[in-house]
């Protein structure tokens, strides 16, 4: 049996558009890797490929399920003279697996965990759970007697990207294959929907647990599998018709995988939202520099605008570094000096504040300039029909080192789920990958500063970022008890102050732009506490 594993990038809710794209991918793959004469290839796609992921909230829209079935019928028609396709349709509770063949739909299975038989072909066992998170459960479901009646285990459930998840998934599938003596096929979607990124990397293990094939990460791809009972072979498919990929494509790690995930997240957010490009504030700092690199890689430099907004407190090197970065990337820039606007605010507010005592550590003037910058960025966005990219990182967002309606403006935050120390790691990797100093060395080496007032640096308000990130990792990723947390080598007073800042900044995070999910504890998704709660 000749099987084509398709790794599509669906747009959530675009049933007809997804159907046309699935047909296009299937026909391309079948042309590049045809079945034997007299045999029909079987395409297998990820769960809910007609609607996209995560689709659950869309079910409240009237006619949702009917639209999905109508799209399946259209897809069957588009493939009537092409390969067959195994696909799942959205159901009220569980997926309905159907076979599209010669223009017709045939129902195969409704249960979430069971065996499906392809007429005249292979039988597959479909576990209910993803093996990366519930390997033991999946193995228990697959009894010895049931394993004897099927040719392979097939996973189609889509799990969003997390660093290291692919390696864990493959390890667990290899263990399952060895335990049951069955090949394991894992089909995954690629793309991004708002915060959620899907890496693709469809893969196949043989019955001995040997990895035979892995599709490319972060792009549409296909693998061809020739199966004769439990024996199979895997070969790559060149969807572009030119460059033949490797049978086992690399599994990116570390800074590379974070960068590529962020690039895909930005590209798909802009493309799927129908926007023409992006803009961002260029401050001369590390965060905006990395976001500019991500945007240029995702959309092409011609679709990225960097806006410089120096104030009386901005250093000359901030402007120079920003312009050098922009030239290195090839992005356009605009410069708006905001000192007159700051003066205008002061002329209005100073008389009004005469009878109001200033609080300790008054932030009024400090916060005016980022709010002016936020308003200017949104003005450019309105005029150009583009999205603003936020430049906040996880460290600063966690402790509230950001200004509401100022540097928090944006449609999405590409780096909002990576710590400041990771920002530097990714920036250094990016320069190495490009083989040039795209991000100027001065941006990487100078002391981080929001330039809120003359000679201000971030460490005036925060612990050094390596210390801050160690504390935050314990609280967020490791679920430490904030009342008893001790971080070796860090003063207890610093730990307690970080806990306090994390708590009181919750109201800000409720109003921030969504961020791409790149960790096990993403602020605003996994960490979303009522602002009025006394959590610790």
Three-state SS across 337-385? CCHHHHHHHHHHHHHHCCCCCCCCCCCHHHHHHHHHHHHHHHHHHHHHC
Give the number of domains in the chain. Answer: 2
pLDDT on residue 131: 60
Instruction: For strands 84-89 and 42-44, give the pairing.
Output: parallel
User: Where a domain ends, among 444, 459, 474?
Assistant: 459
pLDDT on residue 112: 55
CATH number at residue 31: 3.60.110.10
- Indicate the pLDDT class of residue 147, thresholds 50, 70 and 90: low
Residue 138 has pLDDT above 70, yes or no: no
Q: Is residue 203 part of a domain?
A: yes
Q: Please check whether residues 233 and 287 belong to one and the same domain.
A: no
Query: Crossing angle of helices 254-272/420-434, nearest 10°?
Result: 90
Summarize the confidence of residues 449-458 as an average pLDDT.
78
pLDDT on residue 217: 97
Residue 535 has pLDDT above 80, yes or no: no
Give percent of the chain with pLDDT exceeding 70. Answer: 94
Q: Please check whether residues 219 and 150 belong to one and the same domain.
A: yes
Q: Which of 364, 365, 376, 366 is nearest to 338 (CA)?
A: 376
Q: How far apart are CA 519 and CA 268, in angstroms?
A: 19
Q: Please check whether residues 203 and 325 belong to one and the same domain.
A: no
Summarize the confidence of residues 442-465 as an average pLDDT.
86
pLDDT on residue 362: 85
Q: Please check whether residues 112 and 66 belong to one and the same domain.
A: yes
pLDDT on residue 316: 78
pLDDT on residue 38: 84
Q: Please check whether residues 324 and 181 belong to one and the same domain.
A: no
CATH number at residue 416: 3.40.50.620
pLDDT tens readout for residues 317-332 = 889 999 999 999 999 9
Q: Please check whether residues 285 and 389 belong to one and the same domain.
A: yes
pLDDT tens readout for residues 179-216 = 889 999 999 999 999 999 999 999 999 999 999 999 99
Q: Please check whether residues 159 and 209 belong to one and the same domain.
A: yes
Range of the domain at 334: 257-459
pLDDT tens readout for residues 62-118 = 888 889 999 999 999 999 999 999 998 876 556 788 999 999 998 876 555 678 899
Q: Please check whether residues 211 and 269 belong to one and the same domain.
A: no
Q: Please check whether residues 223 and 262 belong to one and the same domain.
A: no
Q: Is residue 428 part of a domain?
A: yes
pLDDT on residue 142: 61
pLDDT tens readout for residues 30-68 = 999 999 888 899 999 999 899 998 887 888 888 888 899
Query: Crossing angle of helices 15-32/64-78, nearest 10°?
Result: 30
Q: Is residue 197 part of a domain?
A: yes
- Indicate the pLDDT class of residue 281, thresholds 50, 70 and 90: very high
Q: Is residue 114 part of a domain?
A: yes
Q: Is residue 489 part of a domain?
A: no
pLDDT on residue 126: 86
Terminal-to-terminal C-alpha distance of the chain: 59
Least-confidence region, from 18-27, 30-39, 126-135 = 126-135
Q: Is residue 464 part of a domain?
A: no
Q: How far apart are CA 266 and CA 271, in angstroms?
A: 8
pLDDT tens readout for residues 473-495 = 999 999 999 999 999 999 999 99
**Number of CB atoms found within 10 A of residue 444's CB:** 16
User: Where a domain ends, among 409, 425, 459?
Assistant: 459
pLDDT on residue 173: 92
Q: Please check whether residues 344 and 443 belong to one and the same domain.
A: yes
Mean pLDDT (the chain, rounded): 91
**Number of CB atoms found within 10 A of residue 437's CB:** 14
pLDDT tens readout for residues 414-430 = 999 999 999 999 999 99
User: Where a domain ends, among 459, 479, 511?
Assistant: 459
- Indicate the pLDDT class of residue 447, thresholds 50, 70 and 90: confident
Q: Please check whether residues 287 and 365 belong to one and the same domain.
A: yes
Three-state SS across 265-299? HHHHHHHHCCCCCEEEECCCCHHHHHHHHHHHHHH
pLDDT tens readout for residues 344-383 = 999 999 999 999 988 888 888 889 999 999 999 999 999 9
Q: Please check whether residues 228 and 374 belong to one and the same domain.
A: no
Q: Is residue 220 part of a domain?
A: yes
Summarize the confidence of residues 295-314 as an average pLDDT.
95
Q: Is residue 477 part of a domain?
A: no
């Amino acid at each position: 049996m000749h099987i084509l594993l398709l790794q599509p990038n669906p747009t959530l809710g675009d049933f007809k558009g997804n159907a046309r794209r699935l047909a296009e991918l299937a026909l391309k793959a079948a042309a590049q890797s045809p079945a034997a004469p007299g045999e029909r290839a079987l395409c297998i796609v990820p769960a809910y490929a007609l609607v996209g992921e995560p689709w659950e909230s869309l079910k409240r829209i009237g006619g949702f399920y009917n639209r999905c079935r109508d799209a399946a019928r259209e897809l069957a028609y588009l493939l009537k003279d092409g390969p067959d396709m195994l696909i799942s349709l959205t159901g009220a509770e569980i997926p309905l697996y159907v076979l599209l063949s010669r223009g017709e739909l045939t129902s195969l299975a409704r249960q979430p965990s069971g065996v499906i038989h392809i007429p005249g072909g292979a039988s597959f066992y479909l576990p209910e759970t993803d093996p990366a998170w519930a390997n033991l459960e999946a193995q228990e479901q697959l009894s010895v007697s049931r394993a004897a009646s099927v040719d392979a285990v097939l996973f189609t459930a889509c799990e969003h990207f997390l660093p290291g998840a692919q390696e864990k998934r493959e390890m667990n599938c290899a263990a399952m294959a060895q335990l049951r003596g069955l090949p394991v096929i894992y089909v995954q979607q690629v793309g991004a929907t708002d915060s959620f990124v899907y890496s693709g990397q469809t893969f196949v293990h043989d019955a001995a647990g040997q990895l035979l094939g892995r599709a490319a990460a972060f792009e549409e791809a296909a693998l061809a599998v020739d199966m004769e009972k439990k024996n199979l072979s895997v070969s790559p498919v060149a969807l572009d018709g030119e460059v033949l990929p490797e049978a086992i494509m690399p599994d990116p790690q570390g800074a590379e995988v974070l960068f590529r995930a962020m690039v895909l997240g930005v590209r798909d957010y802009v493309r799927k939202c129908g926007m023409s490009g992006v803009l961002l504030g260029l401050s001369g700092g590390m965060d905006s520099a990395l976001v500019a690199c991500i945007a240029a890689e995702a959309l092409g430099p011609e679709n990225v605008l960097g806006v410089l907004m120096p104030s009386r407190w901005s250093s000359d090197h901030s402007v120079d570094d920003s312009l050098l970065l922009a030239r290195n990337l090839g992005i356009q820039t605009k410069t708006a000096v905001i000192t007159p606007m700051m003066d205008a605010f002061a002329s209005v507010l100073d008389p009004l504040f005469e009878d109001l005592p200033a609080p300790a550590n008054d932030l009024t003037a400090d916060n005016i300039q980022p709010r002016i910058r936020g308003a200017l960025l949104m003005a450019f966005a309105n005029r150009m029909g583009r999205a603003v990219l936020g430049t906040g990182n996880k460290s600063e967002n966690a402790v509230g080192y950001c200004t509401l309606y100022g540097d928090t403006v944006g449609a999405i935050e590409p780096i909002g789920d990576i710590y400041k120390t990771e920002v530097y790691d990714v920036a250094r990797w990016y320069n190495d990958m490009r083989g040039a100093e795209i991000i100027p060395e001065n941006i990487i080496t100078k002391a981080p500063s929001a330039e809120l007032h003359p000679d201000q640096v971030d460490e005036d308000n925060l612990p050094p970022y390596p210390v801050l990130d160690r504390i935050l990792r314990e609280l967020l990723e490791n679920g430490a008890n904030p009342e008893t947390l001790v971080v070796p080598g860090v003063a207890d007073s610093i730990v307690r102050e970080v806990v306090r800042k994390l708590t009181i900044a919750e109201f800000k995070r409720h109003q921030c732009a969504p961020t791409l999910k790149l960790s096990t504890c993403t602020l605003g998704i996994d960490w979303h506490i009522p602002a009025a709660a006394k959590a610790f």
